[in-house]
Amino acid sequence: MKVGYLGPRGTFTEEAATRYFHDRPVQLEPFPSILAVMDAVQEGRVDRGVVPIENSIEGSVVLTLDGLLENPDLFIEGGMVLPVEQNLMALPGTSKEHLQEVWSHPQAIAQCRRYLRGLGVEVKTFDSTAAAAAALAKQGTKGVGVIAPALSARTFGLEILDRGIQDHQPNHTRFGVLRRGQVSPQDADKTMLLITPAEEHYGVLASLLNVLAAFRLNLTWIESRPTRRRLGTYQFLMDVDGGWHEPPVEKAISVMETLGHEVRVLGSYRTVQL
């Protein structure tokens, strides 16, 4: 089985994919961006894709969410939570006091805002933390640091100057395992829904939550995204406890659809702690 992940080698996503599939024979293949991973799954170039969904400090990964909304064939069949430690690294022999720039992925930069403010450096964004580390190793630029996992330092021959520089402890990222085509795994204990309200009116979100409460479904995550139909109109992504095949989830979906709301199941899965 071929599994795509946000590359290059040395990313947190590679670590998550390696640990999640540790007991299965898989071929891991890096891609330069989250959307490239999702396109590869959609087009059948890989069997599964691993992408970040949410970080405990910075929140949801919008690129992933929008990719799911734009690709109706993609489906989340598995989930994992990885402890994340951000590290400042540079070329060997570089001192922290001489840094003028720091490179990384926007999510990593956002997780370390206070630390970077203290350094007083310029920041430059890359498609992944490991891409920033690879670029520094290749270019050999002096006065530049990178925020990345320790795996990137080992992979690209960089020296860690500071460990655990994220603004809050602990720091965790939730990843999803994508496949093409909807399935309903029997061991799933969580379902992700996309709900587009039939119309905008007072209390529409409250009415949706009341349906979940009526069937005793625990809401564990919610995010809104614009419908792109008209300014001020939104659709809601929700994670609820319970597999898609379980009666309370099926009944809640049925009631929402009866009320005229559009409901799409984005995933049904079990989340493991790595």
Residue 234: which CATH number? 3.30.70.260
| pLDDT string in tens for the chain (274-residue length) | 999 999 888 888 999 999 999 989 999 999 999 999 999 999 999 999 999 999 998 899 999 999 999 999 999 999 999 998 999 999 999 999 999 999 999 989 999 999 999 999 999 999 889 999 999 999 999 899 999 999 899 999 999 999 999 998 888 999 999 999 998 788 899 999 999 998 766 788 899 999 999 999 999 999 999 988 778 788 999 999 999 999 999 999 999 999 999 999 999 999 999 8
Residues 148 and 208 in one domain: no
**In this structure, is residue 185 part of a structural domain?**
no
C-alpha to C-alpha distances, 91 to 12, 101, 140, 163, nearest whole angstrom: 20, 13, 7, 15
Label each residue of 24-43 as H, E or C. Answer: CCCEEEEECCHHHHHHHHHC
Evaluate whether 147 touches 112 at the Cβ level (below 8 Å).
yes
Q: What CATH number is attached to the domain comprising 18? A: 3.40.190.10
Residues 136 and 175 in one domain: no
Residues 61 and 176 in one domain: yes
Beta-carbon neighbour count of residue 24 at 10 Å? 8
Please tell me the total count of domains within the chain.
3
Question: Among residues 177, 208, 141, which one has the least CA distance to residue 17?
Answer: 177
- Surface-to-core class of residue 84, CB atoms within 10 Å of its CB (0-12 exposed, 13-18 middle, 19+ buried): buried
Residues 219 and 119 in one domain: no
Evaluate whether 133 touches 156 at the Cβ level (below 8 Å).
yes
Residues 127 and 112 in one domain: yes
Residues 267 and 194 in one domain: yes
Residues 148 and 200 in one domain: no
In angstroms, the CA 53 to CA 171 distance is 14
Which residues have C-beta within 8 Å of that of residue 98, sequence separation ≥ 6?
Answer: 142, 143
Residues 130 and 146 in one domain: yes
State the number of CA atoms in the 13 A half-sphere of 67 facing the CB.
25
- Surface-to-core class of residue 191, CB atoms within 10 Å of its CB (0-12 exposed, 13-18 middle, 19+ buried): buried
Q: Model's pTM, two decimal places? A: 0.84
What is the identity of the amino acid at 83?
P
Residues 242 and 147 in one domain: no
The residue range of the domain holding 248 is: 190-273
Residues 108 and 122 in one domain: yes
